[in-house]
Amino acid sequence: MNDKNQRLFEIFLDVQRGLPRQGPGTDETTLEALSLCTGLPEKPAILDIGCGPGIQTVALATALAESHVTAVDVHQAYLKALKERAQAAEVAQRIDILIADMNALPFSPQSFDLVWAEGTAYIMGFEKALAAWKHWLKSGGCLAVSELVWLQPDPPGEVAEFFGREYPAMTDVETIVATIRACDYEPLGHFTLPEAAWWQSYYRPLEAKLPALYDKYRGDEDALGIIETTKREIEIRRHFGNWYGYAFFVGRDLRVRS
């Protein structure tokens, strides 16, 4: 990453810093997706990829009292927040926290009964992520991922143009389910996150940060561009939220357990 791109990335992280979540979600949607992960062993080993500050990590560890969760992210600040959250919830002893790149995870093959990724598969590309993460999943294990999708065809030009720039690979639910099948997972279910999942722990606190960020970066065109895009993203959600959403998808690895 060159110096300018590194600086832009640091500004992006500053915009996101301190938020409860790094994307849409709630404890309730995490637990709903978990309920679709049938056939898990009594003491499942879970891998949370791109865990961020770890609200969902703690929710998983709390819901599955005999589980052990390994949470990975590339940003130390997020992992620090997760550690504090896990300690407060008294589940820290069952969560391993590791700084690692999802493209080069340091685990032995077939180490986990459940691979979890809330809103992070897009970083690698959805299909590439599903294929790569099967390497870490035990035969017959489950995969749970949330992904941004179109909910209706032919969206208005304004929203289509925005996501054409920001996430051109975005597709629909049917295509995602077909991709899950193509990667040799059995689809176990999917659902769309409710509107509250966008605002409660993500957009509302993010929007509240914007005035201070405008002041902090006054005169910095690069930073102001990132802040303006963030503001625009929130406005798009407010006006066009019925056209797209986050959906949770759960699948089971089709390899037979030995």
With respect to residue 93, please indicate whether it lies within any of the assigned structural domains: yes
Q: What is the pLDDT of residue 209?
A: 96
Please determine, for residue 258, whether its predicted confidence score (pLDDT) is greater than 80: no
User: 201 lies in a domain?
Assistant: no
pTM given for the model: 0.95
Instruction: Check residue 255 and give its pLDDT.
Output: 79
User: Is residue 122 one of the residues assigned to a domain?
Assistant: yes
* Contact partners, residue 71, CB within 8 Å, separation at least 6: 48, 51, 54, 57, 79, 82, 95, 96, 97, 98
> What sign has the CA pseudo-torsion 164, 165, 167, 168?
positive
Tell whether 189 is covered by a domain: yes
Q: 3-class SS at 204? A: helix
For 44, half-sphere exposure in the C-beta direction (CA atoms, 13 angstrom radius) is 26
Range of the domain at 151: 21-195+243-251
- List, in sequence order, every residue forming a beta bridge with 146; answer none if it has no partner: 118, 248
- Over the stretch 166-200, which tens digit does the pLDDT of each residue have? 999 999 999 999 999 999 999 999 999 999 999 99
Residue 208, pLDDT score: 97
What does each C-alpha distance from 106 to 138, 139, 183, 195 come to in angstroms? 16, 19, 22, 36
Condensed to tens digits (0 to 9), the pLDDT of residues 217-253 reads: 999 999 999 999 999 999 999 999 999 999 999 999 9
The first and second tokens of residue 189, run together, are: 């279910």
215 located within any domain: no
Of residues 61 and 12, the one with the higher pLDDT is: 61
- Considering only 20-24, 58-62, 144-148, 209-213, which range has the smallest mean pLDDT? 20-24
* β-strand partners of 115: 47, 143
Residue 210 — φ and ψ, nearest 5°? Answer: -60, -45
* pLDDT-derived band at 5, boundaries 50, 70, 90: confident
Compute the C-alpha angle 16/21/27, nearest 5°: 175
Is 126 part of a structural domain of the chain? Answer: yes
Q: What is the CATH number of the domain that holds 170?
A: 3.40.50.150
Q: Tell whether the torsion through CA atoms of 9, 12, 17 and 19 is positive or negative.
A: negative
- Report residue 124's pLDDT band, with 50, 70 and 90 as the boundaries: very high
Q: What is the mean pLDDT of the chain?
A: 95
Residue 58 in any domain: the answer is yes
6: in domain: no
Summarised one tens digit per residue, pLDDT across range 62-88 is 999 999 999 999 999 999 999 999 999
Q: For the chain, how many structural domains are there in total?
A: 1
Whole-Å CA distances, 107 to 33, 61, 129: 24, 20, 16
pLDDT digits (tens, 9 = 90+) for 87-122: 999 999 999 999 999 999 999 999 999 999 999 999
In degrees and rounded to multiples of 5, residue 238 shows phi and psi of -65, -35
